[in-house]
């Protein structure tokens, strides 16, 4: 019996700014080694158009820089799969929430640990179990700090909307990847998504694999260290 062909999608967890070994050149080397035909990117359509079709912007995340370099010598499809932010949650509210958390040294200590690990080990750390564990520690600490805050009700509301939005965005990104995959033939793809989504996107992918009629071979980038 002939085996059914399954496209492979390698998920690579990233960081949206360059820090030490987490930089565009390191990411380009990963792309070049994996040789994808398609790259799914955590960008909404309008922002993707600004980065790739418009004049060069003052700031480009390492994902965009590395893909642009790869596109100079490779004919691949670069697909934006994210959606625009929830208009019910303003940037100022998100900043207010995280500035509240950062008042506490133990929260800042966790962030500093993350930054040092990203600087030293780059994508090896971002795609590790340790990275996922540090994000989980931060989320647990956020709940404790929030519930002890003077503006507890406001903080709970902002945080609820923030993580609900992440949940919706992740689901839409997977939905868009499956939609593209139903209509297009390819054998090897990459999916770039920020490392803060690591635990939840892995859980969603496992769930999707049992619900979707289309079989995709999901793998998670594990660098040689």
Q: How far from 85 is each of 13, 39, 45, CA to CA, in Å?
A: 20, 21, 12
pLDDT value for 1: 33
pLDDT digits (tens, 9 = 90+) for 34-85: 999 999 999 999 999 999 998 888 899 999 999 999 999 999 999 999 999 8
Give pLDDT < 70 ranges for the chain.
1-5, 224-225
pLDDT at 57: 85
* pLDDT at residue 187 in the model: 96
Task: Tell me what pLDDT residue 207 has.
Answer: 94
> What domains are there in the chain, each with its CATH number?
8-84+166-220 (3.40.50), 91-162 (no CATH)
* Residue 225 pLDDT: 52
List of residues 6+ apart from 159 with CB closer than 8 A: 97, 142, 146
Three-state secondary structure call for residue 105: helix
Name residues whose C-beta falls within 8 Å of residue 215's C-beta, 6 or more positions apart in sequence: 4, 6, 209
């Amino acid at each position: 019996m002939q085996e059914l062909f399954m496209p492979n999608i390698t998920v690579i967890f990233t960081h949206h700014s360059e820090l030490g070994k987490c930089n565009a050149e390191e990411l380009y080397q990963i792309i070049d080694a994996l040789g994808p035909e398609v790259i799914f990117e955590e960008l909404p359509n309008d922002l993707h158009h600004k980065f790739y079709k418009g004049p060069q912007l003052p700031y480009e995340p390492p994902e965009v820089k590395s893909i642009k370099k790869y596109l100079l010598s490779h004919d691949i499809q670069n697909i934006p799969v994210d959606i625009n932010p929830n208009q019910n949650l303003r940037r100022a509210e998100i900043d207010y929430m995280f500035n509240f958390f950062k008042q506490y040294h133990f929260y800042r200590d966790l962030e500093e640990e993350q930054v040092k690990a990203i600087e030293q080990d780059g994508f090896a750390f971002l795609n590790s179990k340790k990275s996922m564990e540090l994000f989980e520690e931060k989320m647990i600490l956020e709940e404790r700090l929030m519930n002890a805050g003077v503006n507890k009700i406001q903080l709970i509301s902002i945080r609820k909307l923030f993580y609900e939005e992440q949940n919706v965005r992740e689901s839409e990104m997977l939905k868009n990847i499956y939609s593209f995959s139903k209509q297009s033939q390819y054998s090897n793809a990459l999916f770039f998504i920020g490392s803060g989504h690591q635990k939840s996107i892995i859980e969603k992918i496992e769930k999707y694999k049992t619900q979707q009629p289309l079989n995709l071979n999901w793998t998670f980038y594990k660098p040689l260290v």
